[in-house]
Amino acid sequence: MCQNLGHLHITGPLKDMNFSIPEGGGVRFIYQFTSEPPAVSFRATGEKDGIIDIVPRTGILFLNGSLDWETKAVHRLQVESLDEKGNTVKGPYTVTIYVEDINDNPPEFDQIKYTGVVRQNSRPGSNIGTLIATDMDEENTLNSRLRFKIESQVPAVPASNLFFIQQDTGILQLTSRSLNKRIASNYSLKVLVSDEVFQTICDVQVHVIDINDQIPIFEKSDYHNVTVAESLPVGTVILEIQATDGDEPGTGSSYIIYQMKEGDPNNTFIIDTDSETNRGFVKVNKALDFEATPVYNLVISATNPEPLVLGVQYNSSSLTLFKVFVTNVDEPPVFHKTVYKGEVSEDIPVNTLVMTVEAYDPEGDTVRYSLKGDVRKWLRIDSTTGQIYTASALDREQEETYTVEVVASELTQKSKTTFILHLRDVNDNPPLLAMDYPPFFCHPLSGGERAFIQADDADEQWWYSTFTFSLVDDMNTRNNWEISKVNATHAYLSPKHANFEEKVYNVPVIINDNGKPPLEGKVNLEGILYLMVVYHDYIS
């Protein structure tokens, strides 16, 4: 139970206690604890914060300064009694001090000055804005309950009570339709916010803006025509137009938006507005094309971003006419694709069709085709149809990706595109020894000699990287030599004995890969022992 300082027993034994003390007030007595033998003194610890303390010999709990609810609302202390040697006799007991808030903070607006905008002739009850104020005192108490009020309005025309503020929410509203920009374009309000003790005033400026009751009017109803080449760059200004608006300058009621109302379904043109002068600049927005649209019959409208007031509508004064003639420019042929890509096996027959390219001339002239960059003379193109054929045998091992330029020409213009032909590998190369080996063995042999050989294949190794090694099936070779595989690409060749004469020997070796079709190759190595290797593709 919490004891108020105004209604408590000022002395008593040491025990858990709660106190409720108003903030402020300076130095004050709180309570005196009585000692019980053998206790001779008291000690307080905890959240004293330099404000709360106890007199050790007398047990008087006191404030040596002012409490502040806004800084700390609750202080928790532990109090104990001590004997002559400083040992605890009783406690520690919890002493809790609750700080009571008093109304010691004025309300504050979140802005020094507020500005609002309202259209003339707006409906009564229209919101202009909301004023926000706060109070540092305890929430949901009378200390922090705020009330808003308009203290003054300048000028007080055509009436002194044109505005109203909701006292609980701070919402500023109109009270009538009496606002007229021609009578007063600005109002200065003094708004008061108050709690039970304090009050604060801020300034509010309300600007009355014109309603959109005037439509834009073009200076000309017809801007006649202009002739431009179809090659005119995008972004070029082809016409300047002007309309005027009688509403208040610098507002959405007077700013003019120009648009193509008719005659431009593909947005070929665009109109930019100078915000200072309302002058319009008609620009090319997309590439012109004489062949597609040689003439544009345009109807241009002028409107405002703000809606017109009820009863006012745009009419023919806000429209103008303009015609654009587009002249032809000889253009080069246009390919259907920027890059053509094909893929074939390297062993396709000569005169095989590998790709058809297509181009058209915008003016309708006949297009003829040719190749450029065909350094290997592998391709030819039909100059009339754009069909590309093989002109000679292809070879992936020479060039896996073959790139040429295709040229499309008409009478005076030409254009290019790229044709990329990827060649798929076929097994058209026999396995070979990876290098030219020196003589393998020297006479006389001592036994245990062996030669390390490696096989290779010019075909794509992704598929044909495994080789097998063997000797030809004849009695002399098998009696004198043996071969053993080391890994997928290497083997050892070694003599079976040391009883060789000093002369050159031929050792036929067969190397197989996993490709198709089967192929065969031979290589001769000379030395004391002469090695002849025969290669065969192996069909697994």
pLDDT digit string, tens, across residues 129-185 = 999 999 999 999 999 999 999 999 999 999 999 999 999 999 999 998 778 887 899
State how far the Cα of 540 lies from the Cα of 537, in Å rounded to an integer. 10
pLDDT digit string, tens, across residues 254-274 = 999 999 999 999 999 999 999
Contact 64, 46 (CB under 8 A): no
Mean pLDDT of 238-250: 93
- Beta-strand relationship, 508-512 and 531-536: parallel
Q: By mean pLDDT, which of 79-88, 185-194, 461-470 is the weakest? A: 461-470
The predicted structure's pLDDT at residue 291: 86
For the chain, how far is it from start to end, CA to CA, in angstroms?
99
Of residues 427 and 22, the one with the higher pLDDT is 22
Of residues 412 and 540, the one with the higher pLDDT is 412
Asked whether residue 534 carries a pLDDT value surpassing 80, the answer given is: no
The predicted structure's pLDDT at residue 443: 82
Other C-beta atoms lying within 10 Å of the C-beta of residue 187? 21
Contact 82, 42 (CB under 8 A): yes
Of residues 89 and 499, the one with the higher pLDDT is 89
Residue type, 307: P
CA distances from 503 to 214, 434, 442, 450 (A): 117, 26, 10, 18
> Which of helix, strand or coil describes residue 5?
helix
State how far the Cα of 502 lies from the Cα of 317, in Å rounded to an integer. 116
Residue closest to 268 by CA, chosen among 301, 291, 242, 235? 235
> Which of helix, strand or coil describes residue 480?
helix
The predicted structure's pLDDT at residue 470: 83
Work out the pLDDT band at 532, boundaries 50, 70, 90: very low
The predicted structure's pLDDT at residue 442: 83
The predicted structure's pLDDT at residue 431: 81
For the stretch 493-499, contacts whose Cβ atoms lie closer than 8 Å and that sit 24 or more positions apart, written own/partner, are 493/440, 493/450, 493/451, 493/453, 493/531, 494/448, 494/449, 494/450, 494/451, 495/441, 495/445, 495/449, 495/529, 497/447, 498/444, 498/445, 498/446, 498/447
